[in-house]
Amino acid sequence: GKWEVPVPKVRAQGETEVLKVIRTGKRKKKAWKRMVTKVCFVGDGFTRKPPKYERFIRPMGLRFKKAHVTHPELKATFCLPILGVKKNPSSPLYTTLGVIGVSTKGTVIEVNVSELGLVTQGGKVIWGKYAQVTNSPENDGCINAVLLV
């Protein structure tokens, strides 16, 4: 229908797969911290909360800013900066809370397309478009996506 995407069905990810429990405290008894094990996107102005209080840890090694986006009609791939994560199909926690932006296969992200030089019929320049991730970035080390035209 109206919201068709190239990758419709995605295997749901359980919380134990995405979030790893971090034990803290003098006797390593406290288990309220979680570390994200999948690739995520943090915005430009992201600053960590004070380490004593942060519940979700997003390691710097798993933070990505750019995605390899393929245009389905032109069959050309561009390396475009990510603007944000729109929807992660596994759980709304991973998108809507805004705490974690996790990119894994099937996630819809927003990318900056000013490099493509697209213009609307009204003459306005298009600078952001949605794309859907098509690989598992935590296994490959890069984010591959398909532009949703």
Q: How many residues bind another protein (CB under 8 A)?
A: 10
Environment class of 108 (CB within 10 Å of its CB; exposed 0-12, middle 13-18, buried 19+): buried
Q: Are strands 108-112 and 76-87 parallel, antiparallel or unpaired?
A: antiparallel
Q: Is 149 in the site for another protein (CB under 8 A)?
A: no
CB closer to another protein out of 47 and 121: 121
Write the CA distances from 146 to 57, 76, 84, 89, integer angstroms. Answer: 28, 10, 15, 16
Q: Least CB distance from residue 122 to another protein, whole Å?
A: 6
Q: Is 121 in the site for another protein (CB under 8 A)?
A: yes
Q: Is 118 in the site for another protein (CB under 8 A)?
A: yes
Q: Is 74 in the site for another protein (CB under 8 A)?
A: no
Q: Is 117 in the site for another protein (CB under 8 A)?
A: yes
Task: Quote the CA–CA distance of 148 and 130 in Å, as a whole number.
Answer: 6
**Window of 41-49, 84-92, 100-108, 122-130 that interacts with another protein by CB under 8 A:** 122-130
Q: What is the chain's Cα-based Rg?
A: 17
Give SS3 for 133: strand
**Window of 17-25, 59-67, 83-91, 112-120 that interacts with another protein by CB under 8 A:** 112-120
Which residues sit opposite 67 in a β-bridge? 80
Q: Is 120 in the site for another protein (CB under 8 A)?
A: yes
- Which residues form the interface with another protein (CB under 8 A)? 114, 117-125
